[in-house]
């Protein structure tokens, strides 16, 4: 017999995107037919993201002031060189990832492992490859309700054309292999020019490393630790990386058997369960979150968290303010 779900319970479930229920887009971008990039899965978890496919599934459309997405790629799969007009943050949930900066990916490189984070500023070409032995997953944060469009390196356009994909000026894709034609009144996106490339920033390895926070580092906030057997590491915003992101990002650790009691915040608050099993209570309802799940809380909603697993729970928290959000107990 199926469970009877009350409206309140259903509302909570509507604010959860479970890893097991992620709905991928396999042709989100212009490079999705290019050999080496044709097996990636893209996810828009919260907000519209930057997908060039209008059929991309958006799990939660409610504006948050930032976007949450994900990328899942098998070993050897690459996301081609591109730039954004908003800051792009990746948290490594699984896999080993190499990030390459520059038009040809030769300006700077760094390799990230689970628990590492990278914040890539605007106006710089970046690409990333799963260099591990297993499928990897990146959880991503993009700034703003409208994260803008992607600027691709020239070579990406050339390869896409060989496989029948044309990007339009409005940011949408035309698949000529399916018989699609450029609609009247619309034009193909011009290939990125030398002038545009000259305007982009360049990073060397040292400067790129300043954009990386390695697992286990970060500034500690003592409130959770001293009172409740948890830790909160400040990573972005009043943390190791302090340039404007329009949001803050922290890592919360809850020891086995420990709990963070009821509290609320006055900003948008999104949690990603990186590891462990967490019992989450919101107002008078309770749900269980597992590794890979994402939940967003209504502003001001009372919530508590309890580690119900056999290992330390690691949680990534994104809050909709570039200043420290005050926790009310």
Q: Each residue of 18-38: pLDDT tens digit?
A: 999 999 999 999 999 999 999
Q: Is the separation of the CB atoms in 273 and 300 below 8 Å?
A: no
Q: Each residue of 170-216: pLDDT tens digit?
A: 888 999 999 999 999 999 999 999 999 999 999 999 999 999 999 98
Please name every residue paired with 213 in a beta bridge, in sequence order, or none if there are none: 117
Q: Each residue of 42-61: pLDDT tens digit?
A: 999 999 999 988 889 999 99
Indicate whether 2 pLDDT > 50: no
Indicate whether 219 pLDDT > 90: no
If we measure between CA atoms, which residue out of 113, 54, 120 comes closest to residue 86?
A: 120
Q: Each residue of 234-290: pLDDT tens digit?
A: 899 877 888 888 899 999 999 999 999 999 899 999 999 999 999 999 988 999 999
Pairing of strands 58-60, 41-46: parallel
The pTM of this model reads 0.93
- The topology under which CATH files domain 21-213 is Jelly Rolls (2.60.120)
Confidence of residue 6 (pLDDT cuts 50, 70, 90): very low
In the chain, the percentage of residues whose pLDDT exceeds 90 is 76
- Supply the pLDDT for residue 107: 98
- Cα–Cα distance list, 29 to 49, 67, 111, 175, 197 (Å): 12, 17, 24, 11, 20
List Cβ<8 Å contacts ≥24 apart for 196-201. Answer: 196/151, 197/103, 197/125, 197/154, 199/123, 200/83, 200/123, 200/124, 200/125, 201/121, 201/123, 201/124
Q: Where in the chain is the domain with CATH 2.60.120.10?
A: 21-213, 219-328
- pLDDT, the chain, mean: 91
- Supply the pLDDT for residue 7: 40
In the CATH scheme, what architecture does the domain 219-328 have? Answer: Sandwich (2.60)
């Amino acid at each position: 017999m199926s469970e009877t779900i009350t409206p309140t319970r259903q509302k909570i479930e509507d604010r959860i995107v479970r890893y097991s229920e992620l709905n991928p887009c396999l042709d989100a971008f212009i490079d999705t037919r290019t050999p080496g990039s044709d097996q990636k899965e893209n996810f828009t978890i919260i907000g519209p993201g930057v997908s060039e496919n209008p059929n991309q599934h958006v799990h939660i459309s409610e504006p948050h002031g930032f976007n949450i997405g994900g990328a899942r790629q098998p070993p050897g799969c690459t996301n081609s060189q591109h730039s954004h007009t908003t800051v792009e943050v990746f948290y490594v949930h699984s896999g080993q990832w190499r990030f390459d900066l520059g038009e040809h990916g030769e300006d700077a490189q760094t390799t990230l492992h689970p628990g590492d984070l990278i914040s890539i500023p605007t106006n710089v070409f970046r690409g990333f490859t799963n260099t591990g032995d297993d499928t990897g997953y990146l959880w991503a944060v993009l700034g703003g309700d409208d994260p803008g469009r992607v600027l691709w390196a020239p070579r990406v356009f050339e390869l896409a054309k060989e496989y029948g994909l044309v990007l339009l000026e409005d940011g949408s894709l035309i698949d000529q292999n399916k018989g699609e034609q450029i609609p009247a009144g619309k034009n193909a996106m011009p290939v990125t020019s030398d002038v545009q490339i000259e305007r982009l920033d360049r990073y060397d390895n040292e400067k790129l490393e300043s954009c990386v926070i390695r697992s286990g580092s970060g500034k500690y906030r003592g409130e959770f630790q001293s009172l409740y057997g948890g830790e909160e590491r400040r990573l972005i915003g009043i943390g190791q990386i302090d340039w404007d992101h329009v949001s803050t990002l922290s890592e919360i650790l809850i020891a086995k058997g420990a709990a963070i009691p009821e509290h609320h915040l006055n900003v948008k608050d999104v949690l990603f369960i990186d590891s462990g099993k967490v019992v989450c209570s919101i107002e008078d309802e309770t749900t269980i979150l597992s590794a890979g799940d994402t939940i967003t809380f209504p502003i001001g909603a009372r919530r508590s968290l309890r580690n119900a697993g056999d290992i330390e729970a690691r949680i990534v928290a994104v809050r909709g303010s570039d200043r420290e959000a005050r926790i009310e107990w």
